[in-house]
Structure 1
């Protein structure tokens, strides 16, 4: 805890943040829509980075969460990583410092949003420790090679023009389906927060998912429960990479996710849209 008390947050060049992510994050690349790269420092030593910006469809994302908001009202956390030598709960402390930094310097930002990647065995403990609201999960999918290298569905379409079952099997790809978990944290006052929660088609709460809620299904196989991904290894439970072929290819759009209707509470077995 004494070391975390020495953390301070400053903006860093995007190139420095990207180099840190490549060296220390399992995804090994930075999404293109990074608007605010922040670094976590102990003295002059960089020990962590956070990439704040948008996903592939910024307006669509925020208005599916809170219909009255626009892109200027939120940030999405695209990457968060720290050195393995930092305390186990260092990320949640860094996350809190990022919130305080954004609230003070960008008072127009209303809410922060992020996904926890259940496909990597991550139910979102870092958000839970920082008291974020949980908004259920979506089902998503990707493909893996025989070496468990991840290939994004849209990447298959872009490169190959098709992704029907017969074709993907013929080229050695297996489809994997799993969950991603939604989280948000409000930066606004209590009145606006209450209004946004009323208007949201998602039921937000703190019935948090845990390790056993990280499940996936291999094509042609049974459901598997994830071994929790560890920060020490920076590795996913089984899968490698972030969704690209090894050789260069055009950019692809965000995967479509299958949502189900809103339910009364964000229970661990529910899926909300």
Structure 2
């Protein structure tokens, strides 16, 4: 494919959300969105990047830099990034998009860092971020729920109603995690995996901050570093192959898909 000149600019939220829900593997939109950016070649929209923060914005940056008083304003997180299917066949398009995005952030924001996660539960190790020379900041374990019959991946934000039902099921006031007994009753699985952290410094100040921490541009995670396990009893898990999810089922996720 002929190399194209890329331009990134803000686009209307509705246009970005439509594109994301058409082409991204996950239809769930983040709650804390700040920028919706279109990736263009001439006038053709080739991709969309949503920037904002995750569910714990301040805690995220404080965990990365515990010895510095950084704020949420000091970074932005890639919540969604997706392209037209034909662009996914171009091994360099993702890296070129990130390069253009970094330039846009330097021109139009005062952020110190661009932060992102590679979703290991989805089998993603963040190869596009590795190719773009991001710093690798380690991994953390994460959990999702899956309907054992439909294989719908139940987003944590969608589990609120289930948690309320779980509390009534056990005759308690509140639950923070779905219990094994309730999940067996509902036909729901709890699956653990890994999330891989990546960080890119946008300024000389950010680069200097990184020198005080062990983050590095080497020893990147690979497929062998993926881990998957399913709960089979109270605090008991067994290793499983890469889980699959049905993207077209929205019984539990309806509110977050259409909100």
TM-score, structure 1 as length reference: 0.79
1:17-62 deviation per Cα after TM superposition (whole angstroms, max 9, x unaligned): 1000000001113212111111111111101000011112211111
Task: Find out whether 1:169 has 2:184 as its counterpart.
Answer: yes
Structure 2 residue aligned with 1:40: 39
Query: The residue matched to 1:21 in structure 2 has which SS?
Result: helix
TM-score, structure 2 as length reference: 0.83
CA contact (8 A) 2:158 2:255 kept: no
Q: 1:196 offset after TM fit, Å?
A: 4.0
Structure 2 CA distance for partners of 1:105 and 1:135, relative to 1, 3 Å: same
Query: The residue matched to 1:166 in structure 2 has which SS?
Result: helix
Structure 2 CA distance for partners of 1:91 and 1:245, relative to 1, 3 Å: same
Query: The residue matched to 1:85 in structure 2 has which SS?
Result: helix
Q: Decide which structure has the larger Cα Rg and report it.
A: 2
Residue of 227, 252, 256 corresponding to 1:245: 252
Structure 2 CA distance for partners of 1:192 and 1:98, relative to 1, 3 Å: closer
Higher helix share goes to which structure? 2
| RMSD value, Cα | 2.5
Task: Show structure 2 runs of 5+ residues with no match.
Answer: 167-177
Q: 1:243 offset after TM fit, Å?
A: 9.1
Matches within 5 A, 1:49-198: 49-66=48-65, 67-86=68-87, 87-106=90-109, 108-145=110-147, 146-153=149-156, 155-161=158-164, 162=166, 163-189=178-204, 192-198=206-212
Structure 2 CA distance for partners of 1:193 and 1:13, relative to 1, 3 Å: same
- The CA distance in 2 between the partners of 1:31 and 1:186, in whole Å, is 23
- The CA distance in 2 between the partners of 1:97 and 1:243, in whole Å, is 34
Query: The residue matched to 1:182 in structure 2 has which SS?
Result: strand
Task: Show structure 1 runs of 5+ residues with no match.
Answer: 227-236, 250-273
**Which stretch of the first structure deviates more once superposed, 77-86 or 237-246?**
237-246
1:195-235 deviation per Cα after TM superposition (whole angstroms, max 9, x unaligned): 3441x5x6444210112222211223642353xxxxxxxxx
Query: The residue matched to 2:85 in structure 1 has which SS?
Result: coil
CA contact (8 A) 1:148 1:240 kept: yes
Structure 2 residue aligned with 1:265: none
